[in-house]
């Protein structure tokens, strides 16, 4: 990649899958040419590897699965003219389907120069398609390959895990803390086998996820569960195939329901199998996992099946999905679903989804409207001029997909996003700008009363320099039918509340070594007031050192009820990259409500894909060591040290 001078080269990281500001080069491959799913392979002047699975044609809030990893390699060099990259992707890492000796793939290549915030893309993709336009498989250029044949992958990855854990818990009489120490020693194995050219079997025995990064803590000031992303490697393969999503992060299948309890603690997974493949325009996925029977949890079996069929219009499909959760006592929760996406105009998609759940504890068979969820939406894909996304959703009182993620029940929703986007021409500091309206109305099904109104009227400005601003006005209506407990001492009573909030969001130049994102919100909050402030600086000290921090303050005041709550959530993280193969990452988080510090330190040695050595240290340190009854709390209530080695053999 030629540059004007060596000083134009930006290389701020060596970390695998880094999302920091760098010069980039790579390609997105739609190997099945299904216009929906793709695989991205990118590198930087430092030679780091970033691979990502593209979901849902690059649409939605987070359409890239960065946690997905595959087998490939890259070498880079540089001289006075620029930097150069050679990317090698084996056929075993790309599944494809030959037809009459030919294979058609959609491929997009692009290069990004950070110093000038400049993209060079082939084929030419307009910025109208938004931030992920260059990732969209439907916009890729089709290439015809002759004389290539798929190669069946056959990988075996055994692992060994050893370490130590120590937990302090209250005894039954709650008079003292009892120490529980354990030596950890486990072995397991994963296997990937190409059944045929287009079908792959993955097996796992005694699945372990010790290399998982710690979840970032979140402040929950809503009545609903928080969503945490899946980071475990086994669930990343073809994860887009198993997606069946609804607005606001709700989904029919949420893989963190397998092997993780409500507190984020692991439940032993005995093993599982996954089969994925494609044939004649049909995409098929099947997943089955079995957890162990423990003192706290009954052993459970989890089954997920998904099938989609591409229609004559390559951007349209119909599909079906099944999920089932069954324990050893015969209790079950079954979900059946179907969906359809039609490209009704070149820039307009129409989606319909229907899901139905059947539970052993409820009398809700197949003919039961209360056990159903119905959704339809109309979305304009381009983000130039008038942009819209309109949706209708109904959820019955008995709809409960236990393998999914669902925030509320028994309501009807109307959601919309209306926006007008201008792109100034000529020499202009503003890249795009325009007003935006987004939000939702929710009605209670039994009473037809409005339950929630949540809207943002805003104005967005994006600058050529990558600075960004958004101003927002957020009117709210919320009907509470039960007590809303924020903490043990602070709550919001039952009633109907109308309140308004205001916000300003800003991010600095993302091409600089130091970048900052910040947000300020203020206004009413139910029958009180709330002021919020958050800031997230990231400093790319060099390609070997990255420092980051975040701080969030929420100050709530309910004067009439003499209740106050001030929440501080802070974190510090550091990443030391000795090379693209050796790194140490640390994350320290503080929460004043829980009054503890959590730490996660992870050493990784990754000489090549499939060979990993992890050393992981986790700790929870208590700030206030004396409770209200003066019972002394241990300084550290939970500490683990784990060492894991995994080695992949190609057969």
Overall number of domains in the chain: 2
Distance (Å, whole) CA 453 – CA 109: 43
The highest-confidence range among 233-237, 509-513, 623-627, by mean pLDDT, is 509-513
Least Cα distance to 623 among 588, 599, 594 occurs for 594
Query: pLDDT band for position 4 (50/70/90)?
Result: low
Q: How high is the pLDDT of residue 601?
A: 93
> Could you write out the three-class secondary structure of 20-75?
CCECEEEEEEECCCCCCCEEEEEECCCCCEEEEEECHHHCCCCCEECCCCCCCEEE
Tokens 């069929």 identify what position? Answer: 309
Q: Which pLDDT score, from 0 to 100, does residue 325 have?
A: 95
Burial class (CB in 10 A: 0-12, 13-18, 19+), 649: exposed
Tell me how many degrees the CA angle 251-255-258 measures, rounded to the nearest 5: 130
User: Which two structure tokens, joined as six digits, stand for 325?
Assistant: 């959760």
| The two structure tokens encoding residue 124 | 């030419």
Residues 254 and 396 in one domain: yes
Last residue of a domain, one of 348, 374, 409: 409
Q: How far apart are CA 123 and CA 109, in angstroms?
A: 8
Do 253 and 396 belong together in one domain?
yes
Domain membership flag for residue 162: no
Assign 365 a pLDDT band (cuts: 50, 70, 90): low
DSSP 603-629: EEEEEETTEEEEEEEEEEEES--B-TT
Domain coverage including residue 101: 6-146
- Residue 400 included in any domain: yes
- pLDDT the model gives residue 197: 72
Model confidence pLDDT, tens digit, residues 160-212:
989 998 888 878 777 788 888 889 888 999 999 988 877 889 999 988 765 56
What pLDDT band is residue 215 in, cutting at 50, 70 and 90? Answer: low
Tell me the pLDDT tens digit for each residue of 417-460: 999 999 998 888 999 999 999 999 999 999 889 999 999 999 99
Sign (positive/negative) of CA torsion 102, 202, 262, 372? positive
> Do residues 18 and 136 share a domain?
yes
Q: Would you place residue 307 in the very low, low, confident or very high pLDDT band (cuts 50, 70, 90)?
A: very high
Mean residue pLDDT across the chain: 88
Confidence of residue 357 (pLDDT cuts 50, 70, 90): very high
Does 635 reside within a domain?
no
Residue 155 lies in a domain: no
Question: Which CATH number belongs to the domain containing residue 17 in this structure?
Answer: 2.60.40.1190
Q: 35-76 pLDDT, tens per residue? A: 888 999 999 998 999 998 888 787 766 788 887 888 899 999
- The per-residue pLDDT for range 532-590, each reduced to its tens digit, is 999 999 998 988 999 999 999 999 999 989 999 999 999 999 999 999 899 999 999 99
In a domain, 285, yes or no: yes
């Amino acid at each position: 990649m030629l540059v004007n001078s060596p000083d134009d080269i930006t290389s701020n990281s060596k970390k695998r899958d880094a999302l920091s500001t760098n010069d980039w080069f790579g390609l997105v491959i739609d190997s099945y040419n299904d216009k929906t799913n793709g695989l991205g392979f990118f590198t930087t002047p430092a030679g780091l590897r970033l691979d990502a699975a593209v979901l849902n044609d690059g649409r939605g809030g987070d359409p890239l699965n960065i946690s997905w990893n595959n087998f490939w390699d890259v070498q880079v060099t540089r001289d006075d003219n620029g930097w150069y990259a050679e990317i090698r992707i084996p056929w075993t890492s790309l599944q494809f389907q030959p037809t009459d000796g030919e294979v058609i793939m959609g491929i997009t290549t692009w290069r990004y120069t950070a110093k000038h915030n400049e993209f060079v893309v082939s084929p030419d993709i307009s910025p109208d398609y938004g931030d992920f336009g260059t990732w969209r498989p439907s916009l890729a250029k089709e290439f015809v390959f002759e004389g290539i044949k798929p190669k069946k992958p056959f990988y075996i990855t055994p692992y060994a895990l050893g370490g130590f854990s120590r937990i302090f818990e209250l005894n039954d009489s709650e008079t003292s803390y009892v120490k529980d120490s354990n030596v950890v020693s486990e072995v397991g194995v994963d296997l990937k086998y190409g059944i045929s050219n287009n079908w792959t079997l993955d097996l796992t025995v005694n699945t372990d996820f010790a290399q998982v990064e710690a979840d970032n803590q979140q402040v929950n000031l809503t009545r609903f569960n928080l969503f945490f992303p899946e980071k475990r490697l086994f669930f990343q393969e073809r994860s887009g195939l198993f997606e069946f999503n609804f607005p606001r992060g709700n989904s029919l299948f949420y893989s963190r329901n397998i092997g993780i309890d409500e507190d984020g603690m692991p439940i032993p997974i005995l093993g599982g199998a996954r089969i994925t493949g494609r044939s004649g325009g049909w995409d098929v996925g099947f997943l089955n996992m079995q957890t162990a029977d423990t003192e706290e949890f009954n052993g459970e079996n989890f089954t997920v099946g998904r099938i989609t069929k591409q229609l004559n219009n390559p951007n349209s499909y119909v599909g079906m999905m099944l999920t089932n959760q069954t324990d050893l006592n015969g209790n079950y929760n079954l979900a059946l679903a179907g969906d359809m996406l039609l490209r009704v105009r070149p820039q307009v998609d129409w989606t319909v989804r229907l899901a139905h759940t059947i539970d052993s504890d409820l009398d809700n068979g197949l003919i039961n409207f209360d056990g159903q969820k119905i959704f339809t939406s109309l979305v304009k894909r381009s983000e130039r001029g008038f942009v819209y996304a309109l949706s209708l959703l109904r959820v019955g009182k008995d709809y409960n997909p236990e393998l999914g993620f669902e925030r509320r029940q028994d309501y009807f929703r109307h959601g919309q996003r209306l926006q007008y986007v201008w792109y100034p021409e000529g020499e202009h500091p503003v890249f795009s700008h325009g007003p935006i309206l987004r939000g939702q109305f929710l009605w209670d099904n039994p009473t037809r009363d409005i339950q929630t109104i949540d809207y943002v009227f805003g104005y967005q400005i994006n600058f050529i320099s990558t600075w960004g601003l958004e101003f927002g006005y957020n009117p709210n209506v919320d009907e509470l039918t039960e007590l809303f407990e924020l903490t043990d001492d602070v709550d919001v009573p039952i009633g109907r509340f109308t309140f308004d909030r205001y916000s300003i969001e800003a991010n600095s130049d993302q091409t600089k070594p130091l970048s900052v994102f910040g947000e300020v919100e203020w206004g009413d909050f139910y029958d009180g007031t709330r002021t919020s402030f958050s800031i997230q600086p990231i400093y790319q000290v060099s390609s070997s050192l990255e420092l980051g921090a975040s701080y969030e303050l929420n100050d709530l005041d309910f004067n009439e009820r003499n209740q106050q709550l001030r929440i501080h959530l802070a974190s510090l993280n550091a990443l030391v990259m000795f090379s693209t193969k050796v790194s140490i990452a640390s994350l320290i988080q503080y929460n004043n409500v829980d009054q503890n510090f959590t730490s996660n330190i992870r050493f990784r040695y990754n000489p090549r894909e499939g060979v990993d050595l992890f050393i992981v240290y986790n700790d929870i340190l208590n700030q206030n060591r004396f409770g209200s009854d003066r019972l002394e709390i241990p300084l550290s209530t939970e500490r683990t040290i784990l060492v894991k080695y995994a080695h992949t053999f190609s057969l």
